[in-house]
Structure formats: C-alpha cells, structure tokens
Amino acid sequence: MTHLALSRISKDFGGATVVQDFNLDVKKGEFISFLGPSGCGKTTTLRMIAGFETPTTGQIIMDDVEITNKAPNQRNVGMIFQSYALFPNMTVAQNIGFGLQIRRDSKEAIKQRVDEMLTLINLEKHANKYPYQLSGGQQQRVSLARALANRPQVLLLDEPLSALDAKIRVQLRSEIRAIQKALDITAIFVTHDQEEALSISDRIVVMYEGKVEQIGTPFEVYNFPETRFVANFVGSLNTASAEVTDPAKGLLNVGGVQFVTASEIASRKKGEAIRISIRPERFSFLSEHKKDNVLDCVIENITFLGSVVRVQVKIGGASFNMDTFNNPFLELPKIGAKEQVTCSKNAVLVLDE
Amino acid sequence: MNLTTVKKHGGKIWAWFWMILGILYFFLPLIATFLFSLRAKLNVLSFTAYQHVFNDSNFVYNFSYSVLWGVLTIIVGVLIFVPTAYLIRLKLPQFRIPVEFITMLPFVIPAIVYVFSLVRTFSQPPLLIVDSPVLLVAAYTVLSMPYMYSAIDTGLRAIDVRTLTEAGQSLGAGWGTILFRIILPNIRVAILSGAFLSFAIVIGELILAQYLVKPAFAPYMTYLIQQKAYEPAAMAIISFALTWAAMGVIQFIGRGSGGGEQSQIAGGH
C-alpha cells in the first residue's frame, strides 16, 4: 500500500522549472534515495515533501491525506539537515525533547522518550552537553534522534552525511539504515554520492535537470541503466559509438571491432548509429574465463586504485577502462603489450539517448 | 640587520605611536575632567562634587527618567527590530539594502531637524501627542535604530536563520515559538549589545528631551553646567562610568553565553 505519493509534481522558480512531472509511490518502511548532481531538483523535491516549498503543480499525498498545501509544522515529517541545525542554545536532551514540548507531551513522557532516543543513538552520557561540545557525527546523530522523537510518518534526510569525514560517513550511514529498519520508518534520503545511495537504499530515484531518469533498486540502477545519464552518473562506465551490423544476431561494429550484445536491437536498422556502454568490471583478461566477446587490445595505461587496478585498453579505434581486482601474486601486463580481453554479451548495453 | 627587518621594526614603532596617540586623545580629557571634578574643595582632592550630585534629588529624578526612557526604548526597539530583521533575512532579502539605508537615516538627519518635524507633525489633531511620553520613546527608538538594527542583523548573520527556522517548523513549532525559543536566545548577545548602545544613546541625548520638555539626564546636566563648576564634571565622569559598566555587562553576559557561537559584540559604530 502506498504510504507517500508524489503525483505529477513540478516546481518553477521565477520562470525556471527545477522539477518536472515527478511521480513516485513510496511504501511504508521503504528507504528511497534521490540521487543526482547539484541542481537536479532532488533537494527541492524533498523540501516540497517537508512543506518548505509549495509545488507549482501536482499533489503530495501521505496516508491518503493530501498535504500539498499544508504548513511544514502541520505535517508529521522529521527532517535532518546537512548542517545538523541543532538549536545552539539547547542541550542535547532539550534538542531531542523540543518537538515533544511543542506537542505538549507531559514532562514524564518527554523524559522517557528523550532517554529512549539517547539510548538509540548511544549518546546517553552527552545529554547535558551543548551542540558545540559534540563532534560532527555526534551532532548528526542528535539531529536524527530529534527528528525521530516525534514519531514522524516520514523521515527526510537532506544530504545528512556530506559534512562528515569519510570514515564517520560510512559508519553513520549504516547506523541510519539500521535505525530506519528497526523503527520501520519511511525515509527519503537526498544525496549526490552514488556509493551512499547504492549502499543504503531500497530504491533509488536518479534525477537530472529536474526530471526522473530512472527509479529502481540499486541493483537495477547500477546494472541496467535505462538512460545514458544514469549509465554515466552511477558507477564508472565506458561508452562508445557503435553501428548495428546484424540486428537479429545482436552484432555491432565498435571502432572496427565486432561486439555482440544481449540488448534488444532487433528493431534497429542495419547501419544505424547507436551508443553502447560497458562497466569496467565486466571486462576481464581472456586467461581468466572466455566469454561471448573476445577482443584483441593494446594496454594503454595502468592505474593502481588500491583494491582495484584500472587498466586502459584500446580495442580497435576505441579506448575502454577495465577494472580488475588487485592480486599481488599476478603480474600485470606492461603498457604497450598486446593482450586479449573478454566480456559477456549481457555486459554490452545499448543506451537510450 | 637587513632591509626587511628594518621595515618590520619601523612598522611596529609606527603602530605603537598611533596607538599611544589614540589612547592619549581619548583618556587625557577624561583624566583632566576627573581631576577637575575632585577639586571642589580648595587645595584638597575630594569627592565632594560627587556627594553633591548624589544628594541632589533633581539628579535622581532626572536620571531615573532617563533610565526609564532607555528601558522603554530597548523594549520597543527589540519588539520592532527583531521580527523585522528576521523577516527580511528569511523571507524578504530583496529589502535588506533599502531597510539598512533607512536604519542609517538618524546618522544623517540632525536631531534638531528631527525634533522640529516631530513637534510640527504631532502638535495638531488628529495626532496631538507632543506632550505624551509615547512620542519621546518613539523618537528615541528611531534615534537608536542604527545601533539596535545593525546589532540584531549582525546577530542573525552569525546563525543559520533559515535552517534553524525550518528545523523548528519540521518539529511542529509555529512562528512565535521559533522566534522566541530558537532565534531570540541565539542572538541574545547581539540584542544586549544593541540594547546597551541604545541605552547609552538615550542617557546622553539632549535635544529630543529638551524640545519635547521631558525630564532627562542630559538636559539636567546642561542646566547644571550653567549653574555650577565641579558637579557637571562629576556627572560627566558618572555617565562615562555608567556606559562602561553597561559595556562590561555585555562582555560578561557574552562570556557566559551557552551557545558558544554568540560571543561577538555586534553593531558597534
């Protein structure tokens, strides 16, 4: 059953359309990420759900109640901000209890709930500290507890991890996900970090220039990008121009070399120009395992990335990146060496323009 | 000693020279006035002039009124300028420059011109309030506007007004709660600095009180200058001491601020 529905939402700012025809149904307890580059409209969409912006057209429905024009303080949504937005004049406990005070809960009820929340975020010992006495990660956990204390119907997270350093970011995102699952709360998470979105979400909404490019699970979005933008934005990707040589057999000419694809191209005409994409990790050296495409190549460059080694190869007239796991016991080929690489026909995706 | 070292030392010497010159310029008249105020008795340094001032019921009467005008001016100023500055920062940023220009007008309009226009406008029906203390407090509020408004605006600039407001809203708070429980406490030091500057202005203000014929400290001091020699000097020192005490209170409160982000003394000109 749909818990939150955004129907044909659009938003104009002074004649410029920043969100166009946005449609999304969110189930109860689902973790949805809005992923896209800066200015793609993801935060604006989140702010429309929070009530800080009013849609130019469209409807927002939460639990069968239309909230499109409700004031932010009349919607039961919790919001977490990139800058934490803790009240500097209040202690951790006062921050967490603020929303409950506004709701006029009894003192005992507030204390009990604040204690519960402090336990949830493992900051029981910091209840009487002021925000400036906490680290960034601790402040964001307090912000999470404050948002959850009111038992919101939906939790909105606006790039909550962007201001934190890399290790804390990874740790806190796991904590957020664990708490969200434990409380079975619906969450909408805005990020421009694809790794964050892929690791934390049930579904990802990829946005570009105000439009939804693709909605799908992390697996679908990463492995089966529906548009060229999604393919380029999510993960590393090789793209190349190709010409259809045999639509029925899925044969393509890429830079003078024949590739076979499992993508549906039967409806394309022979000689039609298309674009294909292949993830770097879908290539492997022929010595490992032979797949549908066996391709002669020349090693152009090798870049060491820690657990992964990125090898740039020239296949015919086109250059591709290939990712291979770093194995200290295997010798890498030399730059300029002639090798053979292979990839399956499923790896060769035809992109919609 | 190379050329760079010579230049460095020369710069330091000049910095000290200008600083000492500034200190002398400020403190010499004050020291002279203080020494003069101690000479009420022939050939003896004493606090006689100060005793005379504090024993004079007119001093207490006029000073009390000035304190009252000062407190009322601060209350009215806070009630008007905090919501205005907050609204402009949050919802109407396009009005920031025009409003800042308007708040600076008391600096360029002479007080004498201002008071005559007040008397002319409010001494005839339907706005016959020239005799009311309301007009004096309103006029003082306008006069203190550059200090009060800029102090509040500086305080608002130091916090993330928009995000704090939105955080409050998402937790169910209305505008009043946000303003009084979130915004005001976080610009407390800025408001205090504006308030004490306003207080200092009101305490020393002569023209408005004199032409609107209201009891106040400055007209009384002017009157005393015409009558006595040492007591006005003592009163000048007292007024300085009061102003400095006010500044000390700001510093003290600012140091005790729990927020940690609000330690600036804002709005000084």
Per residue in B11-21, pLDDT (tens digit) is 788 999 999 99
Mean pLDDT over each residue of chain B, to the nearest integer? 85
Per-residue pLDDT tens for B227-242?
888 888 998 898 888 7
pLDDT above 90: residue A353: no
Residue B2: pLDDT band with limits 50, 70, 90: low
Q: Which residues of B touch A130 (CB under 8 A)?
A: 258-260
Average pLDDT over residues B181-199: 89
pLDDT above 50: residue A86: yes
How far are the Cα atoms of A110, A224, A247, A248, A253 from residue A265, in angstroms, in the given order?
Answer: 62, 15, 5, 7, 13
Contact B259 A83 (CB under 8 A): no
Q: How far does the CA of residue B183 sit from the closest CA of chain A (Å)?
A: 9
Tell me, yes or no, whether A208 and A258 share the same domain: no
Picking from A52, A71, A150, the nearest residue to B171 by CB comes out as A150
Q: Which residues of B touch A133 (CB under 8 A)?
A: 260
In angstroms, rounded to a whole number, what is the distance separating the alpha carbons of residues A351 and B148? 61
In angstroms, rounded to a whole number, what is the distance separating the alpha carbons of residues A145 and A27? 22
What integer pLDDT is reported at residue A53 of this predicted model? 93
Average pLDDT over residues B216-227: 86
In angstroms, rounded to a whole number, what is the distance separating the alpha carbons of residues A169 and A162? 8
Domains of chain B: 65-216+242-255 (1.10.3720.10)
Contact A146 B171 (CB under 8 A): yes
Average pLDDT over residues A16-23: 93
Percentage, residues of chain A above pLDDT 70: 99
- In three-state secondary structure terms, A339 is strand
Q: How far does the CA of residue A278 sit from the closest CA of chain B (Å)?
A: 42
What integer pLDDT is reported at residue B167 of this predicted model? 95
* Chains A & B: contacts with CB separation below 8 Å: 75
What integer pLDDT is reported at residue B253 of this predicted model? 67
Picking from B167, B188, B258, the nearest residue to A79 by CB comes out as B167
Picking from B171, B172, B186, the nearest residue to A89 by CB comes out as B186
Contact A89 B258 (CB under 8 A): yes
Q: Which of A282, A302, A300, A301 is nearest to A292 (CA)?
A: A282
Q: Comparing B128 with B176, which gets the higher pLDDT?
A: B176
Q: Which residues of A touch B163 (CB under 8 A)?
A: 81, 83, 85
Tell me, yes or no, whether A43 and A108 share the same domain: yes
Tell me, yes or no, whether A23 and A78 share the same domain: yes
Place of tokens 């990420």: A33
What integer pLDDT is reported at residue A211 of this predicted model? 93
pLDDT above 90: residue B78: yes
Residue B1: pLDDT band with limits 50, 70, 90: low
Tell me, yes or no, whether A16 and A112 share the same domain: yes
pLDDT above 90: residue B247: no
Per-residue pLDDT tens for A237-295?
888 999 999 999 999 999 889 999 998 888 899 999 998 889 999 998 887 677 789 99
Give the number of C-alpha atoms closer than 13 A to the C-alpha of residue B72, restricted to the C-beta side.
Answer: 14
Q: Which of A232, A255, A283 is the last residue of a domain?
A: A232
Q: How far does the CA of residue A80 sit from the closest CA of chain B (Å)?
A: 8
Interface of B with A (CB under 8 A): 159-160, 163-164, 166-174, 177, 182, 185-186, 188, 258-262
Q: Comparing A214 with A333, which gets the higher pLDDT?
A: A214
Q: Which residues of B touch A147 (CB under 8 A)?
A: 170-171
Tell me, yes or no, whether A209 and A290 share the same domain: no
Average pLDDT over residues A83-92: 93
What integer pLDDT is reported at residue B7 of this predicted model? 67
Output the domain CATH number for residue A102: 3.40.50.300
Per-residue pLDDT tens for B100-135?
999 999 999 998 998 998 888 888 888 788 888 899
Q: Which residues of B touch A99 (CB under 8 A)?
A: 171-173
Average pLDDT over residues A225-240: 86
**Which chain B residue is nearest to residue A51, measuring alpha carbons?**
B170
pLDDT above 60: residue B259: no
The structural domain count of chain A equals 2
Contact A87 B163 (CB under 8 A): no
In angstroms, rounded to a whole number, what is the distance separating the alpha carbons of residues A353 and A331? 40
Residue B212: pLDDT band with limits 50, 70, 90: confident
Q: How far does the CA of residue B166 sit from the closest CA of chain A (Å)?
A: 7
In angstroms, rounded to a whole number, what is the distance separating the alpha carbons of residues B174 and B162? 14
Least confident interval from A314-318, B88-92, B171-175, B223-227: B223-227
Q: Which of A232, A253, A283 is the last residue of a domain?
A: A232
In angstroms, rounded to a whole number, what is the distance separating the alpha carbons of residues B140 and B144? 6
Picking from B166, B171, B261, the nearest residue to A99 by CB comes out as B171
Q: Which residues of B touch A163 (CB under 8 A)?
A: none
In angstroms, rounded to a whole number, what is the distance separating the alpha carbons of residues A142 and A136? 10
**Which chain A residue is nearest to residue B161, measuring alpha carbons?**
A85
What integer pLDDT is reported at residue A260 of this predicted model? 93
Per-residue pLDDT tens for A138-195?
999 999 999 999 999 999 999 998 888 888 888 889 989 999 999 999 999 999 998 8
- In three-state secondary structure terms, B29 is helix
Quick check: B175 and B104 in contact, CB under 8 A? no
Mean pLDDT over each residue of chain A, to the nearest integer? 91
Tell me, yes or no, whether A90 and A56 share the same domain: yes
Contact B159 A85 (CB under 8 A): no
Q: Which of A60, A32, A353 is nearest to A213 (CA)?
A: A353
Least confident interval from A11-15, A102-106, A179-183, B252-256: B252-256
What integer pLDDT is reported at residue B267 of this predicted model? 33
Average pLDDT over residues A336-352: 89
Q: Which of A53, A86, A87 is the best residue to mutate to test the B interface, defined by the most B CB atoms within 10 Å of its own CB?
A: A87
Instruction: Tell me the residue range of the domain where A240 lies.
Output: 236-350
Q: Comparing B211 with A211, which gets the higher pLDDT?
A: A211
* Conformation bin of residue A58: beta by default, left when phi > 0, alpha when psi is -120 to 50: left
Q: Which of A89, A132, A144 is the best residue to mutate to test the B interface, defined by the most B CB atoms within 10 Å of its own CB?
A: A89
Tell me, yes or no, whether A106 and A188 share the same domain: yes
In angstroms, rounded to a whole number, what is the distance separating the alpha carbons of residues B169 and B148? 27
Picking from B166, B177, B185, the nearest residue to A79 by CB comes out as B166
Q: Which of A173, A200, A232 is the last residue of a domain?
A: A232
What integer pLDDT is reported at residue A70 of this predicted model? 93
Picking from B169, B174, B259, the nearest residue to A88 by CB comes out as B259
Q: Which residues of A touch B185 (CB under 8 A)?
A: 89
- Enumerate the β-bridge partners of residue A128: none
Give alpha helix (H) positions in B38-132.
Answer: 48-55, 57-90, 96-103, 105-108, 111-122
- Enumerate the β-bridge partners of residue A293: A343
Contact A73 B170 (CB under 8 A): yes
Contact A85 B160 (CB under 8 A): yes
Percentage, residues of chain A above pLDDT 90: 67
Q: Which residues of B touch A86 (CB under 8 A)?
A: 167
Residue A100: pLDDT band with limits 50, 70, 90: very high
Output the domain CATH number for residue A293: 2.40.50.140
Q: Name the strand (E) or helix (H) holding B196.
A: helix B188-204
Average pLDDT over residues B159-163: 93
What integer pLDDT is reported at residue A202 of this predicted model? 95
Average pLDDT over residues B166-188: 93
Q: Which of A49, A73, A74 is the best residue to mutate to test the B interface, defined by the most B CB atoms within 10 Å of its own CB?
A: A73
CB atoms inside a 10 Å sphere around CB B63? 23
**Which chain B residue is nearest to residue A50, measuring alpha carbons?**
B170
pLDDT above 50: residue B266: no
Tell me, yes or no, whether A312 and A164 share the same domain: no
Tell me, yes or no, whether A139 and A288 share the same domain: no
Tell me, yes or no, whether A148 and A32 share the same domain: yes
Interface of A with B (CB under 8 A): 50-52, 71-73, 77-79, 81, 83, 85-89, 98-99, 102-103, 130, 132-133, 146-147, 150, 156
Tell me, yes or no, whether A66 and A125 share the same domain: yes
Picking from A52, A98, A130, the nearest residue to B166 by CB comes out as A52
Tell me, yes or no, whether A106 and A7 share the same domain: yes
